[in-house]
Amino acid sequence: MYLCILSPTMTSVSLKTIGCKLNQSESDTLMSQFRDKGFLVKPYGEEVDVTIINTCTVTHAADSDCRNFIRQAKRISPKAKIVVVGCYAEVSEKEIAAIPGVDLILGNKDKFKLFEKLESLSVVRCPLSVKKDCDSQNGNRKTKNGPRTTGHEHRTRAFLKIQDGCNFFCAYCIVPFARGNPTSLPVKNIIEEAHKLVNRGFQEIVVTGVNIGLYQYTSGEKTVYLEDILAQLERINGIIRIRTGSVEPNTIRDELFQVMRDSHIICPHMHIPLQSGNDKTLKAMKRRYTCAEYQEVINRYTSFLPDAALGTDIIVGFPGETADDFETTKTFVNNLPYTYFHVFSYSDRTGTVASQAPDKVAPPITKERSQILRQLGEKKKEDYIKSYLGKTLPVHFDNRKNNLMLGYTPNFIRVGVESEKIKRGEFFNVVLKGIDSKTRICTGSL
């Protein structure tokens, strides 16, 4: 009887991912492994025998989302094994263990040992829903259809993991505790994985990791960097677009800009986190550059790729950030050629240097600063879109919202086109026409 969950051909599984592109990439890998082992992979939200929650812990809000999804998963599948993996599981095991219904908690180090752990778990308990679907003698599911795979093919962009971990220990960041020291995947594995993604139908690849600018893989005499990986991916038949995830400013080499400039398929788009436009705050954050050094990186980027998109992350309300410090940041970001940015309100993460810092900024002030910067970000985004109106750009469509088909241009402009004929995953040239007054996205026509 207890063989049920050990015999994957009859066990259904779903997975919910919270957090970044790296988590998404790792979730895809896990689901591929489940499929390869013959599990029945179902979309999250359907009743299953096992639910995996791949968690994030980057903010308090992320922790809270994780806890809510764990409870929701139990409501959706009351008899399922609930397995919690990932960053929140790595650093807050006790908090998760206190949630009723959690069967297994695996941090990042053990995430990919999931299958052996599931086996040992099944010896302890076997959910009734599995038992009744099993032939108790041999563990075969009583179905003629055999294993079926669903879900996870719904995205049009695939996240390709090349790197993990970070040892920068920025004062506010919990990620190094959750992900450990930097490691770079072997080139051979990355290229093999990219081929697999192409075979699954993906045409756009997003290169991802915790700190991908640290990518460095040495074999024999040769050391391979991020830009070399991009150049190798570009040679793979079937990949039409390559995008990079966020790259730390102090890890960027000019060779990266050169490879991007010379490529027809690497998107002219980078996300280069700033966090603060004030040297005092940058120092307190333990960021590894000054404003002048950051500005220099952006100058080089725009000299190689003058029309490219540029995004960033900014934290407001960091301990000790005065009104003057904030004004300096506002002026600094206003003067840089950002085409969008993400604003985060500082929140304490236990164990980080900043969580021990005095002079915490009052939440209403942080909220007000956040609103001011968000408005500035919207204005910059709008100005960038306006500079492209009347031009025709290729759009990779990924989602339908009512009568609008939505997608991205290579330079990361979100475009909506009224069309019934466009399908997800398709590319079309679109004339950019205007900005929707409600959603603020760019409108266009074929």
Which of 2, 112, 168, 177 lies at the binding interface for ligand SF4 (CB under 6 A)?
168
Torsion of CA 53, 58, 62, 67, to 10 degrees: 50
Q: What is the nearest approach in angstroms of ligand SF4 to the Cβ of residue 116?
A: 29
Run of H or E residues at 206: strand 204-208
Which of 176, 249, 317, 410 lies at the binding interface for ligand SF4 (CB under 6 A)?
176
Which of 173, 226, 309, 395 lies at the binding interface for ligand SF4 (CB under 6 A)?
173
Structure tokens at 184: 């770079």
Which of 14, 55, 208, 211 lies at the binding interface for ligand SF4 (CB under 6 A)?
211
Nearer of residues 282 and 422 to ligand SF4, judged by Cβ: 282
Q: Does 175 bind ligand SF4 (CB under 6 A)?
A: yes
Nearest C-alpha neighbor of 85 from the set 114, 112, 54: 54
- CB burial string 150-172: b at 16+ within 10 A, e below: ebbeebbbbbbbbbbbbebebbb
Which of these segments, 76-84, 87-95, 169-177, 403-411, binds ligand SF4 (CB under 6 A)? 169-177
Residue with tokens 């969008």: 340
Q: What is the nearest approach in angstroms of ligand SF4 to the Cβ of residue 18?
A: 17
Which residues, listed in sequence order, are joined to residue 50 by a DSSP beta bridge?
Answer: 13, 81
Nearer of residues 80 and 274 to ligand SF4, judged by Cβ: 274
| Whole-number Å distance between alpha carbons of 159 and 26 | 9
Nearer of residues 213 and 444 to ligand SF4, judged by Cβ: 213
Nearer of residues 173 and 206 to ligand SF4, judged by Cβ: 173
Q: What end-to-end distance do the CA atoms of the chain give, in Å?
A: 58
Nearer of residues 286 and 424 to ligand SF4, judged by Cβ: 286
Q: What is the nearest approach in angstroms of ligand SF4 to the Cβ of residue 211?
A: 5
**Cα-flanking dihedrals φ and ψ of residue 195, to 5°?**
-60, -40
Which of these segments, 99-107, 166-174, 262-270, 411-419, binds ligand SF4 (CB under 6 A)? 166-174
Contact at 8 Å (CB) between 295 and 336? Answer: yes
Which residues, listed in sequence order, are joined to residue 311 by a DSSP beta bridge?
Answer: 271, 340
Query: DSSP 3-state assignment of 70?
Result: helix
Is beta strand 50-55 parallel, antiparallel or unpaired with respect to 81-86?
A: parallel
Nearest C-alpha neighbor of 31 from the set 56, 58, 12, 3: 12
Which residues, listed in sequence order, are joined to residue 406 by a DSSP beta bridge?
Answer: 399, 416
| Whole-number Å distance between alpha carbons of 435 and 184 | 41
Q: Does 169 bind ligand SF4 (CB under 6 A)?
A: yes
Task: Kindly identify the residues of this chain, within the stretch 231-260, that bind ligand SF4 according to CB under 6 A.
Answer: 248
Q: What is the nearest approach in angstroms of ligand SF4 to the Cβ of residue 288?
A: 8
Q: What is the nearest approach in angstroms of ligand SF4 to the Cβ of residue 273?
A: 7
What binding mask, one character per residue, do residues 349-388 give for ligand SF4 by CB under 6 A, x or -?
----------------------------------------
- Residues lying near ligand SF4 in the complex (CB under 6 A) are found at 166, 168-170, 173, 175-176, 210-211, 248
